[in-house]
Amino acid sequence: MSAPSFTHDVLIIGQGLAGAVLSETLALQGKRVCVFDRPQAGRSSAVAAGMVNPIVLRRTIPSWRASEMLAIAGAFYRELEMRYDTTFWHPLTLAAIFPTAQEAGIWQLRTKDPEIAPFLERESTADVALESLPRPYGHGVVKRCGWLDVQGFLDQHRARWSKAGDLVETSVAPSDHIPVPGGVRIHERSAPVVVYCEGPFSAYPGLVPVRGEGLTVRVPGLDLQCAVHRGVFLLPIGDQTYRVGATFAWDDVWSGPTTEARHYLTDRLERLLERPFEVVDHWAGVRPTSRDRRPIIGRIGAYEAVFNGLGSRGVLLAPWSAQHLTDHLFKAAPLDAEVDPVRFA
Ligand SMILES: Cc1cc2nc3c(=O)[nH]c(=O)nc-3n(C[C@H](O)[C@H](O)[C@H](O)COP(=O)(O)OP(=O)(O)OC[C@H]3O[C@@H](n4cnc5c(N)ncnc54)[C@H](O)[C@@H]3O)c2cc1C
């Protein structure tokens, strides 16, 4: 019997950060990939600030596998820039302004812990603009942060893949999946495996949608080079303009920008800046978070796999997760138990 022939090696549903990073990872390994996407209101990547911070600031501990994730993410985004011949990835430092003397003391202690010490410094950034912000208890510096221009990357990815005929702008319903011998066919494309990268629109067990809101603001006269955190993040994107965020809400997640969140963010910002600012934009989206805050990656059927649960750290987690899924699907590498979808099945 002859082997079944397919138009592609992998079909991907969803072109948010998950689908875009996975498609690039697979293409780099020589796989033929087709992506289906119909942008829907509330999608997460459309509003992601793109910040990468390897520290859980609330507790001053490293985020999950921070060193490994950072190394892989940095290498992936730099390689991506070369492929696209542009700049998406901006390494930067983060100044965490201490709200109390107690927090300053905790930071001081944590800088002596070998697990987190490589990421922390006490008050040393060459950013003179930071001196103009109120810092009664000082600040600490988180090294090895960065931000990805997520929307810039996704726009260019969409244009490039559409031009090659490998991104189809359409919605995929369950009835569009046609079983064929050894795989699946969707809208005239076929492959041995389809990967669901549907973000918060998926009903996969263990997924928890979380609304997030943020602002774009202009702060005349403030030219920060570093990101700042005090209750909220302030991320410089050039021309005295900043992204500010984000909020977390677990109810009414699809309700879009709310006045409650706008008040919360402007209140925090007033305390952080103590100077006038102008709100240029207010955005909202829904994060695809998992119950245990780990990605959900792996095969979920003979011809199906899932790549989801990137939560609030998609930029940091997506490159490692895409590599892990690729090795699992094509090199029979075992799934890491912490990300295996079976934990929620
Ligand atoms: C306010 C806010 C701020 C954030 N800030 C940051 C940050 O600073 N740093 C960070 O790392 N992360 C941040 N995040 C999180 C980040 O946005 C997510 O981790 C990441 O974007 C998730 O990507 P995704 O591809 O899984 O989902 P999405 O971006 O939602 O993409 C899913 C895509 O699939 C499409 N789709 C779904 N189902 C179908 C179907 N059946 N057919 C066709 N298309 C379909 C959707 O339309 C969408 O385009 C933030 C999130 C929010 C909401």
At 100-116, the pLDDT tens digits run 999 999 988 988 899 99
> Is residue 266 assigned to a domain?
yes
Alpha-carbon gap, residue 224 to 235, rounded angstroms = 9
Instruction: Please count the residues of the chain.
Output: 345
pLDDT tier, 1 (very low <50, low <70, confident <90, very high otherwise): very low
For residues 31 and 141, state if they share a domain: no
CA distance 290 to 293: 5
Cβ of 47 less than 6 Å from ligand 1: yes
54 in a structural domain: no
* Mutation test residue for ligand 1: of 195, 281, 287, the one with most atoms within 8 Å of CB: 287
Cross-strand partners of 94: 142, 227
Please say which residue of 290, 307, 333 terminates a domain.
Answer: 290
| Domain count along the chain | 2
Flag whether 269 is in a domain.
Answer: yes
Task: Let me know if residue 69 belongs to a domain.
Answer: no
Cα 47 to Cα 50: distance, rounded to the nearest angstrom: 9
Tell me if 105 sits within 8 A of 99, measured CB to CB. Answer: no
328 Cβ neighbours under 8 A, 6+ residues apart: 297, 298, 299, 334, 335
Is a pLDDT exceeding 90 seen at residue 288?
yes
State which of 290, 312, 330 marks the end of a domain: 290
Residues 301 and 282 in one domain: no
Q: What is the CATH number of the domain that holds 262?
A: 3.30.9.10
303 and 286 belong to one structural domain: no
172 shares its domain with 236: no
Identify how many contiguous H helices and E strands the chain contains and give both numbers.
Answer: 6, 20
Q: Are 280 and 252 found together in one domain?
A: yes
CA triple 207-205-36, angle to 5 deg? 70
Q: Does residue 36 have its Cβ closer than 6 Å to ligand 1?
A: yes
- Per the domain annotation, does 72 fall within a domain? no
SS3 category, 168: strand
pLDDT band at 126 (very low <50, low <70, confident <90, very high): low
| Nearest CA owner, ligand 1 atom 45 | 14
224-250 pLDDT tens trace: 999 999 999 999 999 999 999 999 999
- In this structure, what DSSP letter does residue 174 have? G
Residue 199 Cβ < 6 Å to ligand 1: yes
Please state, for a pLDDT cut of 70, what percent of the chain lies above it: 97
* More confident of the two residues 108 and 265: 265
Residues 135 and 211 in one domain: yes
The Cα 258–Cα 242 span in angstroms is 20
Residue 336, in any domain of the structure: yes
Are 115 and 36 part of one and the same domain? no
217 pLDDT above the threshold of 80:
yes
> Residue 53 domain-assigned?
no
Q: Measuring CA to CA, which residue among 316, 315, 333 is closest to residue 324?
A: 333
Q: How confident is the model at residue 128 (pLDDT cuts 50, 70, 90)?
A: confident
Choose one of 24, 43, 184, 234 to mutate for the ligand 1 pocket test, by most ligand atoms within 8 angstroms of C-beta: 43
pLDDT of residue 125: 63
CA-based nearest residue to 20, from 145, 147, 146, 159: 159
Cβ contact 244:232 at 8 Å: yes
Q: Is 309 in the pocket of ligand 1 (CB under 6 A)?
A: no
Q: How many CA atoms lie less than 13 Å away from 287 in the CB half-sphere? A: 27
Q: Find the helix or strand (DSSP H, E) in which 31 lies.
A: none
Asked whether residue 230 falls in the same domain as residue 271, the answer is: yes
- Residue 227, pLDDT score: 96
Q: How far is the centre of ligand 1, averaged over its atoms, from the C-alpha of 45 (Å)?
A: 4
Average pLDDT of the chain is 95
Which structural domain range is residue 318 located in?
A: 10-47+151-203+292-343
Report residue 121's pLDDT band, with 50, 70 and 90 as the boundaries. Answer: confident
Checking if the pLDDT of 265 tops 70, the result is yes
**115 with 215, same domain?**
yes
Beta bridge partner(s), residue 175? none
Per-residue pLDDT at 4: 66
Q: Flag the least confident range among 14-18, 131-135, 198-202, 279-283.
A: 131-135
Kindly state if the Cβ of 209 falls inside 6 Å of ligand 1.
Answer: no
In a domain, 332, yes or no: yes
- The verdict on 109 and 41 lying in the same domain is no
Q: For the whole model, what pTM was predicted?
A: 0.96
Does 30 score more than 80 pLDDT? yes
267 Cβ partners below 8 Å, 6+ apart?
Answer: none
Ligand 1 proximity of 171 Cβ (cutoff 6 Å)? yes
Q: What's the average model confidence in pLDDT over 155-173?
A: 98
| End position of a domain, from candidates 270, 290, 310 | 290
288 close to 205: Cβ distance less than 8 angstroms:
no
CATH of the domain at 329: 3.50.50.60
The 3-state DSSP class for residue 41 equals coil
Q: Are residues 335 and 303 in the same domain?
A: yes
266 and 231 inside one domain: yes
